[in-house]
Amino acid sequence: MASAAFVFVTHQIAMTRWLKAEVRERASSLHFAFARPGLSTFKISEGTLGPEFELPSSFARAYGLSLGRASSAAEVLALVAQLPDEPIHLHVFEREIDVPVDEQDFALRQTRATVVDASIRNESRDRFLAPRIPALGELVVDVVVAHPTQPDDGWLVGYHRHHPGHGVWPGGVNHVSPPPESPSRAWCKIEEVLRWADFSVQPGDDAIEIGSAPGGASYALLCRGANVYGIDPGMMDPRIQNYVGAAGNRFVHLHKPAAEVQKNEIPRRYQWLLCDVNLAPMIALRYIERFVALAHGGLRGAALTLKLNDDGVAAALPSLRSRISKLGAKRVEYTQVPSHRSEIVAILRF
Ligand SMILES: C[S@@+](CC[C@H](N)C(=O)[O-])C[C@H]1O[C@@H](n2cnc3c(N)ncnc32)[C@H](O)[C@@H]1O
């Protein structure tokens, strides 16, 4: 097949400037080509990239090589015909709009993607696998369409080979709307992160959350059967404080700043570490480093929210990444899920 000339990236609209700056700095062979709101493309100016390439970006939600543009299922299939004759996943998803997800009509999201997905599958006569989470190395065709509140301005067709640097759902992950009993919107953030990363929190696992009040993220972990040790000088929602799960799992509130927590107050080993403190990331990292060490090698995953309050923090990203890379994880990925505002997440797999 002909080698791809462009890379596509989907992202939040507010992050376009930072995405472009980061790609310029970290991937010098990629040159910004054109953008639609929530979708940027970069020309590959030197060498070639295969579908397994990893984009060094903290703001990408989904990315891959571009096959071209289409406006019908038949045109999509003509582009897909260039790909190797192997089982292929189909991911159809929508670009973001410049409205925070919790202010959008949730019922509308994915409606256009669903219609386009069905039209391509109908036309394709089993060219695509039935929807399931891609395994490592499997090929995924990405079809990026406009948000349902926007005019249909054509579809970008791309592809990637799945690896942990990609979210497992179409477009990385869609927004997950909160259940009415969730104490905070942070439930959406952690749900989207757990889904993007395909982290499987199991009943009986132990988790530490630094910055747990009022308890949205803790609630997501408790519902998966984990015991949660929440560290926060703030008040927890009583529903979290008194939660007893089907697995007998509970919430333990360490009602103090992270610096004051003693090691005998937490389990000797724990599997999951979350951090969502409203502190500058460089300061939060001091606590994270300590709680990674205190897990005594038991960690399977960590999700660290990094607040990006101004250009200074974006400029500090290289040193943040450097410190995070020393935490001992096998892999670290960065992304921004739909519920994030001025923040990104570092996802660590141990
Ligand atoms: C964005 S909120 C956390 C939301 C929470 N994860 C949830 O799911 O509801 C940030 C929290 O960080 C806490 N925080 C700030 N400094 C802290 C520190 N030094 N140690 C622990 N928590 C801290 C604040 O009290 C606040 O509750």
Looking at residue 173, what is its pLDDT? 94
Looking at residue 4, what is its pLDDT? 76
pLDDT score of 256 more than 90: yes
* 311 C-alpha to ligand 1 centroid (Å): 23
**Between β-strands 88-94 and 139-145, what pairing exists: parallel, antiparallel or unpaired?**
parallel
Handedness of CA 291, 318, 19, 42 (dihedral sign): negative
Place of tokens 């389990």: 267
Q: Given the CA of residue 219, which atom of ligand 1 is nearest to it?
A: 8
pLDDT score of 147 more than 80: yes
- Number of Cβ within 10 Å of residue 103's Cβ equals 6
Looking at residue 113, what is its pLDDT? 98
Token pair belonging to 202: 């199991």
Looking at residue 2, what is its pLDDT? 57
What percent of the chain is modeled with pLDDT above 90?
Answer: 89
Bridge-partner residues for 304, per DSSP? Answer: 275, 346
Looking at residue 55, what is its pLDDT? 96
Q: Given the CA of residue 215, which atom of ligand 1 is nearest to it?
A: 9
Looking at residue 315, what is its pLDDT? 80
* 10 C-alpha to ligand 1 centroid (Å): 29
Q: Given the CA of residue 209, which atom of ligand 1 is nearest to it?
A: 6
* 197 C-alpha to ligand 1 centroid (Å): 22
| Selection from 197, 226, 339 nearest residue 276 by Cα | 339
* Protein residues whose CB sits closer than 6 Å to any atom of ligand 1: 184, 186, 210-217, 231-234, 257-258, 276-279
Range list of β-strands (E), the chain: 6-10, 30-36, 39-44, 62-70, 88-94, 139-145, 155-161, 206-210, 227-231, 251-254, 272-275, 301-307, 331-335, 343-349
For residue range 37-77, what is the model confidence (pLDDT) as tens digits? 999 999 999 888 999 999 999 999 999 999 999 999 999 99
Q: Given the CA of residue 189, which atom of ligand 1 is nearest to it?
A: 8
* Three-class secondary structure of residue 68 per DSSP: strand
Residue in 181, 209, 241, 278 to alter for ligand 1 test, most ligand atoms within 8 A of Cβ: 278
* 195 C-alpha to ligand 1 centroid (Å): 22
For residue range 92-128, what is the model confidence (pLDDT) as tens digits? 999 999 999 989 998 999 999 999 999 999 999 889 9
What percent of the chain is modeled with pLDDT above 70?
Answer: 99
Note the Cα 321 to chain centre separation in Å.
16
* 274 C-alpha to ligand 1 centroid (Å): 11
Q: Could you tell me if 90 and 117 are in contact, meaning their C-beta atoms sit under 8 angstroms apart?
A: yes
For residue range 182-198, what is the model confidence (pLDDT) as tens digits? 999 899 999 999 999 99
Confidence class for position 1, pLDDT limits 50, 70, 90? low
* 205 C-alpha to ligand 1 centroid (Å): 22
Q: Given the CA of residue 186, which atom of ligand 1 is nearest to it?
A: 8
Looking at residue 245, what is its pLDDT? 95
Q: Could you tell me if 272 and 226 are in contact, meaning their C-beta atoms sit under 8 angstroms apart?
A: yes
For the chain, the average pLDDT equals: 95
Task: Give the residue ranges of DSSP H helices in the chain.
Answer: 16-26, 73-80, 111-124, 186-197, 216-223, 238-241, 281-294, 311-325
* 214 C-alpha to ligand 1 centroid (Å): 8
User: CA–CA separation, 22 vs 311, rounded Å?
Assistant: 12
Place of tokens 């571009």: 66
* 301 C-alpha to ligand 1 centroid (Å): 20
Nearest CA to ligand 1 atom 18: 257
Helices 111-124, 73-80: axis angle to 10 degrees equals 60
Handedness of CA 161, 166, 167, 171 (dihedral sign): negative
For residue range 5-23, what is the model confidence (pLDDT) as tens digits? 999 999 999 999 999 999 9
Nearest CA to ligand 1 atom 5: 212
